[in-house]
Amino acid sequence: MRDYRIIDADCHVLEPKHIWDTYLPSKFRDDAPRLVKDEAGGDAWQFNDGRPPMKIGLVTTAGQSYEDMKWSGNTYESIRQSCFEAKARLEDMDFDGIDAEFLYPSQRTMYYYMHNKDTEFHRSGIQAYNNFMMDEFCAADPERLFHLAQMPNLGVDEAIAEMERCKVKGVRGVIISAWPAGGDQLTNEDDRFFAAAAEMGLPVSIHINIQRSRTTTGALEGHAAIGNMALAGMLNFPPIMAELITSGLFDRVPNAFICGVEVDIGWIPTALEQLDNFYWRNRTHTGLTIRGLPSDYFHRHFMCTFLSDHVGIRNRYDVGVRNMAWSTDFPHHGCDWPYSRKVIGELFQNVPQDEKELIICGNVKRIYGLDQ
Per-residue pLDDT tens over the stretch 69-126? 999 999 999 999 999 999 999 999 999 999 999 999 999 999 999 999 999 999 999 9
Please tell me the pTM assigned to this model: 0.95
Distance CA 43, CA 57 (A): 8
Per-residue pLDDT tens over the stretch 319-353? 999 999 999 999 999 999 999 999 999 999 999 99
Distance CA 254, CA 155 (A): 22
Region of residue 324 (left: phi > 0; alpha: psi -120 to 50; beta: else): beta
**In a domain? residue 62:** no
The pLDDT-based confidence of 357 (bands split at 50, 70, 90) is: very high
Per-residue pLDDT tens over the stretch 228-268? 666 677 889 999 999 999 999 999 999 999 999 999 999 99
Q: Is the dihedral of CA 337, 339, 341, 344 positive or negative?
A: negative
- Between β-strands 258-261 and 204-207, what pairing exists: parallel, antiparallel or unpaired? parallel
**In a domain? residue 50:** no
**In a domain? residue 76:** no
Distance CA 308, CA 284 (A): 39
Question: In total, how many domains does the chain have?
Answer: 1
**In a domain? residue 362:** yes
Assess whether the previous peptide bond of 152 is cis (omega < 30° from 0).
no
Q: How many other CB atoms are there within 10 angstroms of residue 248's CB atom?
A: 17
- Domain of residue 271: give its range: 7-31+82-368
CA-to-CA dists, residue 193 to 175, 176, 206, angstroms: 12, 10, 14
Paired residues of 260 in beta bridges: 206, 304
**In a domain? residue 12:** yes
One-letter-per-residue 3-state SS of 342-359: HHHHHHCCCCCHHHHHHH
The pLDDT-based confidence of 224 (bands split at 50, 70, 90) is: low
* CATH number of the domain that residue 140 is part of: 3.20.20.140
**In a domain? residue 71:** no
CA-to-CA dists, residue 226 to 207, 220, 222, 229, 232, angstroms: 19, 9, 8, 5, 10
Angle at 164 between CA 158 and CA 168, to 5 degrees: 150
**In a domain? residue 2:** no
Q: Output the pLDDT for position 225.
A: 60
- Between β-strands 258-261 and 302-306, what pairing exists: parallel, antiparallel or unpaired? parallel
Per-residue pLDDT tens over the stretch 9-18? 999 999 999 9
Nearest to 209 by CA among 183, 238, 180, 252: 238
| Largest distance between two CA atoms of the chain | 60
Sequence-ordered list of residues with C-beta below 8 angstroms from that of 66, at least 6 positions apart, any chain: none
327 and 8 Cβ atoms separated by less than 8 Å? yes
Distance CA 181, CA 187 (A): 8
**In a domain? residue 1:** no
